[in-house]
Chains A and B, each alone.
Chain A
Amino acid sequence: MRSIRNALFQVSRQTQTSLTRTTSIVKKLTYIIIFGVTALIVLGSLRSFKSDSIFDIESFAELPVQVGGRIKPLDSVARNTLLLLSGRQKVITADGETLSPIEWFMDLTMRPEIADNYPIFKIEFPDDLGLAGLAKPGERYYSFNDLLPFSEELRRLHSEINPEPKKRSPYENQIADINEGLMRYHRVMHSLHPIGSAERLDNLDEEYQSYTLMIAPGMAELRKQQAGEPYDAARLNTFITFADDYLKLSQTAMLRVVPPPAPIDPMEDWKNIGLELLDVMKGDPLSPYVTSYASLTMSYRANDAAAFNQEASELRERFKADFPDAIGRVHFERMFNAFQPFYISMQLYVWVFLIVCISWLRWSQPLGTAAFWVIVVAFAIHTFGLLSRMYIQERYGVFVTNLYSSAVFVGWGAVLLGALIEKFYKNGIGAAMASLVGFCTLIVAHHLSMSGDTLEMMRAVLDSNFWLATHVTVITFGYSAMFLAGALALMFVIFGVFSRKFNKDTARSLSAMVYGITCFATLFSLVGTILGGIWADQSWGRFWGWDPKENGALMIVVMGAIFLHARWGGICRERGLMSLAICGNIITAWSWFGTNLLGVGLHSYGFTDSGFYWLLIFWTSQCIFIATALLPWRFWRSEFGQANYRKQRKDILTAAEGA
């Protein structure tokens, strides 16, 4: 008897160990696959760090330029310009070759005759322009040369549109965008030196040399002419042609690439190339930066990589010597541009969401653990991006400086809270919703970045690190929490109505999460709003001014208060509370974007046209979810819903019997 029992016991142990062995293999395999994909996503973006060109593009990309009150690498300018014109950070030439922004910028400024053929002007609806012969079927990108024959017509159309940008129709906006794009293109092209025929560009050094030699005699002739004495007309004419040309250049050239001579005051204005050339007339020596750009252009045009690389590294060395404090930041900014941390974390959030979805179907334990760690990685990269922006802007502790960075930060906050939930509950819900909100907000940020520089300087009123770091950060974190609570509520509704597996326990834990996060959201919104009041009191003398953005923040606080009081008073049960949490999404979106659309008040810093359209879509979707949440219990397919339905019927029956 005993031996049989022993034998049975052994058999069962063996099956058990073989089972654990297979599970452990599955586990290991899942971990390996997930790790591999994650590594692929992260490393994939590192490819773009080094180009395989014979030219030292990296050094060129790090040459300094003063834009928006800050010293930036040319790389950033190239990217922002391209984003404004094309809405993306690459150029695909007619031959199908892909250029990076800085490669495009080099061609634009140094080989304009080639760059004019690159299709970089994005025209969403070319047929609507009414320009016969422009639109190519299925093509949204057009080159300068494509647009050139229509320049007269475009200018005429531009003169007819509504001068008030906010009142323009989509058609008028498109006309304005093309014209402004052409203008910007032209101005950026003229940034490094005068533009002209190929011959002129090939001989820039001679031009500068003859100009500098011309100044003294030219001025002498001019003085003679003004004094009414006899003068050499030909000589004077050459001089005046130069002067006229450089005057025009000083009005056209977009970028301030010429730093003042040493010793350098960081608050001093840099000059654009035209201004520097003009100022030589006053007796200033011509800045070596100007001649260096000329040499760069000539060697690039002559395809002389050795000379180009030599000159580029010399220029960089000079910049290093002139601006020892700025060089690190400029270098870092280029690396940051190439690394694109927010783009990586966006991809990782999609990946996390996928893993979690699979985990709900199979292998829930290993996949759940893996999802948590991937979200940690994504969050770390997201955090790195935020810290990098602080370093570049020299504003430590300030996460949010404009609408773009608020979007990035809202995602970050939601992921942080979601990951914490995941750590406590370990059921995938926190990770899924964190990745969803993270992804959506980064998409929003991506679209906001189309409007140009996202690292701009703060206007004087807003320029207070303390308040930016406290009020703005806290209130934006409040948005994060509101959205996360809303997302969890959406999950409750979707699973509750459609999934059979959703039971009472899940319902209880989900509503506990929503409650906890709403508490957080209310606390942060309240504290943030009040801090804002104190800031306003410090800067304008009124604690509360009923400004749209302030009102928006207050609405979030009130929403939180409604939720909490409704719960404490037992006024709403689970699904009522979930509807309120989804309402929170509507309110938060209003506070975040809607108030900016109004275009009134002190905070209206980011007017976006298409924003209104997207806001409406978002609101409608949330209303549909609320309506779904309020469906009668009998339509709820889940165990939780059916239990409630039975209870409801029972209640009705007892009530009827009692009567």
Chain B
Amino acid sequence: MKPLFKFFSSLKLTVVLLTFSMMLIFFGTLDQVQYGIWHTQKLYFESFIAVWAYPEQAPAYNQLFWLRIPMPGGYLIGGLLFINLLAAHFTRFKMTWKKSGIFLVHFGLVLLLVSELMTDLLSKESQMPVDEGGRSNYSQSHRANELVLIDRSHPDYDSVHAIPATQLKAGKEIEVPNTPLSIRVVKYYPNAEIGRANNNATAPQSPADRGAAVKMGIFVTPQPVSYADDAINTATAYVEVLSPEGSLGTWLVSNVIDERFPPQTVQAGDQSWEIALRFQRQYYPFEVELIDFSHDKYPGTEIPYNYSSEVMVHHQDSTKNQKALIYMNHPLRYEGLTFYQASFANQDRTSIFQVVRNPGWLLPYVSVLLMGLGMCVQFGMHFFKFLGKRRQV
């Protein structure tokens, strides 16, 4: 037990782990050229083991294609550092004023690691596009998709039944809660190209026998998933809808077949549902109204100088209504969410907000204060000791 404790509390382990972390960060940066930031993050920093492979674009690939470098991933290094730090504090450190700076730094670091983990696990990012003069009460992911069946029969509200796209696996049957329906996934493509067959050309066989696919002669070519940061994957599926009486037919759904197209409807008896595959939505108890979006440029140039959105938030509870100006470096924090000016579209008539829910957002601020303070204390003590010595000399 004791040697194990000694091992985990040793400074050597710290140095080794730090060296590994440097290596991990370096290769995790290099691979971003290939996989984009988002995917690399999953591969390297939110994993236990990462393997770097010699990239195809690099020189001498033909000689070095076999080169693989395995290394501990972010969770493993972070976890071990965490244990190392705690073990060191339990065994070697004594609470003295001389060490107070180091304590602060280390405590700040622990907090930072925890907050990063919390962000990884708990934070949610999505986007909310709003047209000038328009309102929106939901934001959508630009990676995750969902299959929805929408019942629009009620005059005041719609009922949305959603199935996350991660559940859509070929051959799987899923019951749609609160409806008599269930669906059977015929095919699911995380990314695809959607095209229209020419009338005279022989269109590829399509399993769909209902909806837009039949009416418009749409066919699907599967594509590899793209990890580029600005790329949007066209998730597409063939789904068969089953009612207690039997199959109602097979529909083609895709996140590019969106509001611009007439809705596809599933009819069972006298009830009907719209069926669609769309970016996963998050609904809120309030609506964001975009009053005005402005996009200014430096005079005589195309260099953007300012983006800003004047918004009015209409909450169901009208005491929570709020007016705000969202612009660069000045987000709106509202009901545990944060709205950032992310982008714009539609000749400056649509503003796109990044909506982030991150319950741990304050932690880094605290940890920063602790670490900065700790370093100042520690190095300050060193420095004054040094000055004192020199004075004696």
Contacts and interface: CB of A to CB of B under 8 A. Distances in A.
A234 B106 CA distance: 87
Contacts of A547: 37
B18 interface: yes
A196 interface: no
Interface in B8-22: 10-12, 14-15, 18-19, 21-22
Contact of B25 (A424, A520, A551): A551
Secondary structure of the B contact surface, majority rule = helix
Contact of A565 (B11, B123, B307): B11
B365 A534 contact: yes
Contacts of B41: 546
A330 B366 CA distance: 45
A184 B120 CA distance: 49
Nearest to B355: A541
A392 B305 CA distance: 18
A590 B27 CA distance: 12
> Which of A460, A461, A523, A566 lies at the interface centre, i.e. has the most chain B CB atoms within 10 A of its CB?
A460
A470 B307 CA distance: 23
A545 B37 contact: yes
Nearest to A554: B25
Contacts of A460: 304-307, 328
Contacts of A571: 11-12, 15
Contacts of A270: 299-300
Interface string A55-85: 0000000000011111000000000000000
Interface stretch (B193-201, B278-286, B367-375): B367-375
A285 interface: no
A459 B303 contact: yes
A69 B307 contact: no
B211 interface: no
A548 B300 contact: no
A463 interface: yes
Given A527-B375, A533-B364, A542 B125 contact: yes
A559 B329 contact: no
A70 B297 CA distance: 12
Nearest to B360: A543
Interface in B243-280: none
Interface in A586-640: 587, 590, 595, 598-601
Given A565-B15, A571-B15, A600-B37, A539 B329 contact: yes
B364 A543 contact: yes
Interface in A236-272: 256, 266-270
Contact of B375 (A523, A531, A565): A523
A566 B15 contact: yes
Contacts of B36: 600
A75 to B, nearest CB: 18
Nearest to B383: A516
Interface in A170-225: none
Nearest to A524: B375
Contacts of A527: 368, 372, 375
A530 B115 contact: no
B356 interface: yes
A422 to B, nearest CB: 14
Contact of B29 (A69, A539, A551): A551
Contacts of A464: 328-329
Given A544-B119, A569-B12, A538 B329 contact: yes
Interface in B292-319: 296-301, 303-307
A419 interface: no
A522 interface: yes
B215 interface: no
B338 interface: yes
A263 to B, nearest CB: 15
Given A516-B386, A546-B40, A530 B29 contact: no
A463 B379 contact: no
Given A533-B364, A566-B15, A569-B12, A542 B32 contact: no
A566 B29 CA distance: 25
A565 B14 contact: yes
Nearest to A597: B33
Given A542-B119, A595-B29, A69 B376 contact: no
Contacts of A125: none
Given A424-B390, A546-B37, A562-B22, A457 B301 contact: yes
Nearest to A466: B329
A540 B298 contact: no
A66 B15 contact: no
B30 A598 contact: yes
B54 interface: no
Contacts of B361: 537, 543
B26 A555 contact: yes
A519 interface: yes
A590 B22 CA distance: 12
A66 B329 CA distance: 28
Interface size class of A (residues with CB under 8 A): 35 or more
A496 interface: no
B190 interface: no
A494 interface: no
Contacts of A267: 296, 299
A467 B303 contact: no
B98 interface: no
Contact of B364 (A266, A269, A534): A534
Contacts of A542: 119, 123, 125, 356, 358
B331 interface: yes
Contact of B371 (A266, A519, A530): A530
Interface in B313-340: 328-331, 338, 340
Contacts of B123: 542
Contacts of B375: 522-523, 526-527
B12 A541 contact: no
Given A68-B301, A534-B368, A538-B330, A543 B18 contact: no
Interface in A467-519: 467, 512, 516, 519
A561 interface: yes
A17 to B, nearest CB: 30
B238 interface: no
A520 B11 contact: no
A401 to B, nearest CB: 13
A9 interface: no
Nearest to B229: A600
Contacts of B331: 538-539, 541
B136 to A, nearest CB: 18
B68 interface: no
B287 interface: no
B132 interface: no
B128 to A, nearest CB: 12
B367 to A, nearest CB: 8
Given A543-B115, A601-B37, A552 B29 contact: yes
B209 interface: no
Closest 4 CB pairs of A and B: A69-B298, A569-B11, A541-B356, A460-B304
Given A558-B22, A565-B14, A590-B26, 19 more contacts: A66-B299, A69-B298, A270-B300, A463-B328, A464-B328, A464-B329, A519-B382, A530-B368, A530-B372, A534-B365, A539-B331, A541-B338, A551-B26, A555-B25, A562-B19, A565-B15, A566-B15, A595-B29, A601-B37
Interface of B: 10-12, 14-15, 18-19, 21-22, 25-26, 28-30, 32-33, 36-37, 40-41, 45, 115-116, 119, 123, 125, 229, 296-301, 303-307, 328-331, 338, 340, 342, 354, 356, 358, 361, 364-365, 367-368, 371-372, 375-376, 379, 382-383, 386, 390
9 contacts: A67-B300, A68-B300, A69-B301, A70-B298, A270-B300, A533-B368, A539-B328, A558-B22, A562-B18
Interface of A: 66-70, 256, 266-270, 424, 456-457, 459-461, 463-464, 467, 512, 516, 519-520, 522-523, 526-527, 530-531, 533-535, 537-548, 551-552, 554-555, 558-559, 561-562, 565-566, 568-569, 571, 587, 590, 595, 598-601
